[in-house]
A = this chain, B = another copy of it.
Amino acid sequence: MDVPELVARAREGRPRAVARLISMVENGSPRLREITAELCADRPSRARVIGLTGAPGVGKSTSTGMLIQAFRRRGMRVGVLAVDPSSPFTGGALLGDRVRMQEHATDPEVFIRSMAGRGHLGGLAWATPQALRVLETAGCEVVLIETVGVGQAEVDIASLADTTVVLLAPGMGDGVQAAKAGILEIADVFVVNKADRDGAQAAVRELRNMVALAGRAWRPPIVPAVAVRGEGAEEVVAALDGHLAYLESSGELGRRRHARACAEIEAIALAALRSRSAHLHGDRRLDALATRVLEAGLDPYRAADELLAAVG
């Protein structure tokens, strides 16, 4: 099937066309450029993008499931991208192991897709914006991007999402450690999941203190939830709505989306430069330079100059 036809079918919300396009995007299809052009020409209405992140074990998938339900109750069409950087088990497969999400597997208004993130720096940055465009073309009004981990992956998601939700759970490392991972800088909404467990109130209190100290223009609300029972769903959605209203009234929504577009263009341009350099010289020149850095005391800045002079 050719790309315009696939895109036309995705526009009708046909799940197989959506899945096929996301696979092509994720696998770096030679038709990636054509697909992106077709999706952009279509100018679908923009989805609200919500990132969910947190350490393993906090209940990200369960919380994503809870949010799917909450947005479905509003009659919205929902897309989900579950991004596990370099996971060997989720590469390109549809979600099978996430019980809470499977409830939605047969709902024609819910599109769920697991992506592997390719395991290299920028893997997420590459494929996700295109996958997002596919889901927008399919008419998704809200897209949830779930990612594993605390660390660099979070920074990625913060740059992709309009609103970033950081999930925590009692007893998963204390607040100070949470702060160390830089989550205070990227969280727009905190959800303390498993709030029926010991230590939940203490976690909420500690977070509240840290948030007050951080002194950002937007003070992230802290919402307790028990995602496995759906408790707190409406409160979380209310917090998300509050943040969206803030983004719109402050002009921050436009700024975030503009920064996102800049980052995407730059990433594509840098990748093009990179492949141009590899194409011209194989990787032999770089190899030789690396050897000189390792064995002959060449400094890497001078090595980079030589590389650029050769490409330029």
Contacts and interface: CB of A to CB of B under 8 A. Distances in A.
Interface string A115-135: 001011110110001000000
Interface in A21-35: 33
A240 to B, nearest CB: 22
A297 B40 contact: yes
A124 B55 CA distance: 20
A250 B8 CA distance: 52
A155 B265 contact: no
A259 to B, nearest CB: 8
A37 interface: yes
A42 B298 CA distance: 10
Contact of A149 (B90, B151, B305): B151
A105 interface: no
Interface size class of A (residues with CB under 8 A): 35 or more
Chain A, interface SS category: helix
Contact of A308 (B55, B124, B152, B269): B269
Contacts of A148: 150-151, 177, 180-181
B299 A84 contact: no
A152 to B, nearest CB: 4
B268 A155 contact: no
Interface of A: 33, 36-37, 39-43, 55-58, 84-90, 97, 117, 119-122, 124-125, 129, 147-156, 172-174, 176-182, 184-186, 214, 257-259, 261-262, 264-266, 268-270, 272-274, 277, 283, 286-287, 289-291, 293-294, 297-305, 307-308
User: What are the 8 tightest A-B residue pairs by CB atom distance, in nearest-first order?
Assistant: A149-B151, A57-B173, A151-B153, A86-B182, A56-B173, A152-B152, A261-B290, A268-B304
8 contacts: A37-B299, A40-B297, A55-B173, A147-B151, A148-B151, A149-B152, A153-B153, A258-B294
Given A37-B301, A57-B172, 20 more contacts: A36-B301, A56-B177, A56-B181, A57-B174, A88-B185, A88-B214, A119-B185, A121-B122, A129-B300, A148-B151, A149-B154, A151-B153, A257-B294, A261-B291, A262-B289, A265-B300, A269-B304, A269-B307, A269-B308, A272-B308
